Chain A
Amino acid sequence: MNLVAPNIIPAIPEITLLGLACLILVVDLFVEQHNRIVTYLLSQASLLIVFILTLSTFTGGETQFTFNNTFIRDAMSDVLKMGVYVAVFIVFLYAKDYLRQREMFKGEFYVLGLFGVLGMMILISAHNMLTVYLGLELLSLSMYAMVAMQRDSETASEAAMKYFVLGAIASGMLLYGMSMIYGVTGSLDLGEISHKAAAVANQPLMVFGMVFMIVGVAFKLGAVPFHMWVPDVYHGAPTSVTLYIASAPKIAAFAMLMRLLVDGLLVLQPHWQDILIILAIASMGIGNIVAIAQGNLKRMLAYSGISHVGFLMLGVLTGQQTGFAASMFYALSYALMSLGGFGMIVLLSRKGFEADNLADYKGLNDRSPWAAFMMLIFMFSMAGVPPFLGFWAKLSVLKEVVATGNLLWLAIVAVIFSIIGAYYYLRIIKLMYFDKPEDTQAISADIDLKVALSANSLLVLGMGLLPGGLMALCITAMTHH
């Protein structure tokens, strides 16, 4: 028996991050609480390092396999990973003050966050059903623990419990589906499955397995009817953790959808297209309609996130390369907008006060015109009003749906739901601009949070004016799918 050393080059960023996260775990033990900033800085530095590593080895199209084809590195994985790093970098930045004020400024948050990033990276680069599962579980376990970090808070514990139980069921579903696919094709390798699937595509067990796998992915994405955990977890978790859950994992979940359905089961596209259409319509519908009834901003943004997932799936379900690129653009844009929206909650919260009720936004324009304007940008962007990034995200997926020729009705359904959705975003603007403030306390936040949030909002506006670069990047990243 020959032992051939695997080519570790494609997985260098993952290996580096694993090492750095373990290092931080150890270093954190020796850091006094008043020096905890060291942990924070090291975590940010780690993200920066892996970003540079990924960027400097960006293949731009060449696909590499390693570890017996269980691990893939292609343009899509590189771009999505960089999106994840940036998102988590912003999360750590926004969360710093918030954690400090609530005595949660501990090393665990950062270590768990970094392990979550590692999980996402593995998920994004998975080319084997076991790798998918490995990445997914690493991500999920980190997130369960993060939600539960505020252990004296009842809502947080409840949210963590709910998240864990439902997440475990979804993982079970996913595994069950994988086992069926394995049973039919005799392989766990997504590349081999896609070769063999054509011959066995008509077997009911194949479609059964696919359905169970979609359940698992839909749960991660938070698509209706597997969305029940989303509002409770977003609401119950500390806002710093909500920031995390609502941004980067959506990018990873999109990658999971791509890996399983496109890389693995593209021949079953007519089957999964129908399922995704139903999921998309249900998500856009339930998400947008129920969001109207929410009085809590975190819950409202949770339902809004569900509706965005519906839109995101519109691109994938076309089964076209350009459609995948459009969905990828949507996932990255949504992560940026979602960070901004939850970032605003962090900005307006202070010690002992959570600015997560809609009423807390009354008269924000009187208190701070700039904060109100930033929120206006995020809200109009999520509503899909130009000239903001969210508009181009919607435009690009709708364009793909229209281009299929036979799904024009779906585009019309989607825009009708986006009109309904506009209402609750407008309500936030109404509270900020047309009402008198109830809370008159000055907004106190560290300068780095203010600057970062300003940059975030200007990016949503700036990329709304010039979205071409990111779009071109997404199209390049998808050329091999």
Chain B
Amino acid sequence: MFVDWPILSLVIWLPIIGGIAVLATANESRPMQARGLSLLVAILTFILSIPLYSDFHLGTHLMQFQENTRWISAFNINYHLGVDGISMPLILLTTFMTVIVIVAGWEVIKFKQSQYMAAFLIMEGLMNGVFAALDAALFYVFWEAMLIPMFIIIGVWGGPNRVYATIKFFLYTFFGSVFMLIALLYLYFKTGSFEILAYHQYKFGLGPQTLVFIAFLLAFAVKVPMWPVHTWLPDAHVEAPTGGSVILAAIMLKLGAYGFLRFSLPITPDASHSLDWLMIGLSLIAVVYIGFVALIQQDMKKLIAYSSIAHMGFVTLGFFIAWRIYANTGEYKGVVMGIEGGMVQMISHGFISGALFLCVGVMYDRMHSRMIKDYGGVVNTMPVFAAFMVLFAMANTGLPGTSGFVGEFMVILSSFKANFWFAFLAATTLIIGAAYTLWMVKRVIFGDVTNDGVAKLQDINRREFMFLAILAFMVLLFGIWPAPLLQVMDASVVNLVAHMTQSKL
């Protein structure tokens, strides 16, 4: 029944209009009103996004749920939306995580609740816009506009060093994006349109391809973030309020990886091929070096932030080993597995890192500290919470049966087909990841109660139980049965692989 609805427009504009409504009806003395309305909008948006999955046609790589109208005729810019198997799961992830974030911010945010909720709703709409846009100018508008609510969220509700963190966040991402704008304008100048799908077909030489690739790389590498432009992320994560960290880790980091799939790989396949040594190198540095950096962190949020960078290294590794696998095996199968592994890792990391940040948030709300040394023996006073925390930590290390395992395993497996040493280095993460995550869990959760603060802790309430339980369910569901996710993306990824292994020269 939903087929005729402009569903993509709805999931973009409903939260934005809802956010404006929350702002307009703001009343400091009645925060419940803002919370209730926000939750309603978020849930409604999530429900509206479900048909994207249920009515999705498997087996085709073509864009679905398309909407295309003229937007700015002077510049040949269209309001062109559509999803394929690559972007659709990410939209669902966005609408899902926003509901969780609204619930997680329920009582925790003590001032300006309506602005907080509205910022998240508006950001939800903008992020959906990024995933759904098929016009490069439209994509760029959503991509940049997204910075505004995040800037406000970190700056207003963040920790003590929030101003430094949020300005750094904004300027880093702005820096990356403007070069992408130049690249898009260059492509417009060459092709006469802003259609992303037309760019996919546009053939140009290796020199310009390399420049365009580098411009895209600056934008996406900052967002992912890849070493060495990752330094904004730990700062932003540490200072952001819990909800901000969750959205940053669960969705915003995915935007960079999505950018590689939608822009870099199909538009500049030859440049991606010729520079894949760089990308593989940076990915492996992220996996190994950042893993060690995570090991020595004293601050739980920082630790999870570094672990996010390492996990995103897996994603980019899965994407850029493609040509080596193809050269070694001569078939698409391994390549598809690598990219799908990266995709699964993206979704799974969205749930796991989001959940871990929420866990830290739960503890922070009670103790007002994120330092590992301030905790110890939490399991004694918060047994239910401890069970969740351990589950998510295990998932973060890639324990079989959790979603963390599926993506990592697929990427490692396919990297064997590229080069043994890639696989070897990537697999060290199973050890390093386990080390930093479990060591943190050991120091925070297990052992004897170390101080009075921990002794007085109250276990999680029903609201907290609810969002942690839902996330735990998702982590286990995709760990045990990832097939629905893989089916959805298969046709699009196969098409992408066929496209990118074809030289444009």
Contact = CB atoms under 8 A, between A and B. Distances in A.
Interface stretch (A3-11, A274-282, A385-393): A385-393
B217 to A, nearest CB: 15
Nearest to B176: A419
Interface in B74-120: 74-75, 112, 115
Contacts of A395: 75, 137, 181, 185
A310 B71 CA distance: 28
A415 B183 CA distance: 12
Contacts of A365: 112, 115, 156
B315 to A, nearest CB: 27
A318 B179 CA distance: 20
Contact of A398 (B155, B156, B171, B182): B182
A434 B189 contact: no
A325 to B, nearest CB: 8
Interface string B225-245: 000000000000000000000
Interface string A382-425: 00011100010001101100110100100110011011001100
A92 interface: no
B170 A426 contact: yes
B186 A402 contact: yes
A422 B171 contact: yes
B306 interface: no
Contacts of B141: 386-387, 391
B171 A415 contact: no
A471 B167 contact: no
B74 A419 contact: no
Nearest to B179: A415
A402 B171 contact: no
A22 interface: no
Contacts of A466: 71-72
Contacts of B23: 369
Contact of A468 (B72, B147, B151): B72
Nearest to B144: A386
Nearest to B77: A468
B178 A419 contact: yes
A221 interface: no
A430 interface: yes
Interface in B125-149: 137, 140-141, 144-145, 147-148
Contacts of A386: 140-141, 144-145
Contact of B185 (A411, A422, A426): A411
Interface residues of B, number: 36
A380 B171 CA distance: 13
Measured as residues with beta carbon below 8 angstroms from the partner, the interface class of chain A is 35 or more
A191 interface: no
A408 B152 CA distance: 33
The winner among A418, A422, A472, A475 for most chain B CB atoms within 10 A is: A422
A429 interface: yes
Nearest to A420: B171
Interface in B176-218: 178-179, 181-182, 185-186, 188-189
A234 interface: no
A350 to B, nearest CB: 24
A402 B162 CA distance: 37
A475 B140 CA distance: 23
A408 B189 CA distance: 11
A423 B74 contact: no
B81 to A, nearest CB: 15
Interface in A434-481: 434, 466-468, 471-472, 475
7 contacts: A369-B26, A385-B145, A385-B148, A386-B144, A398-B181, A433-B152, A468-B74
Given A411-B182, A466-B72, 16 more contacts: A365-B112, A369-B23, A376-B148, A385-B144, A391-B144, A398-B185, A402-B189, A411-B185, A412-B182, A415-B182, A422-B170, A422-B174, A427-B167, A434-B162, A471-B74, A471-B75
Interface of A: 365, 369, 376, 380, 385-387, 391, 395-396, 398-399, 402-403, 405, 408, 411-412, 415-416, 418-419, 422-423, 426-427, 429-430, 433-434, 466-468, 471-472, 475
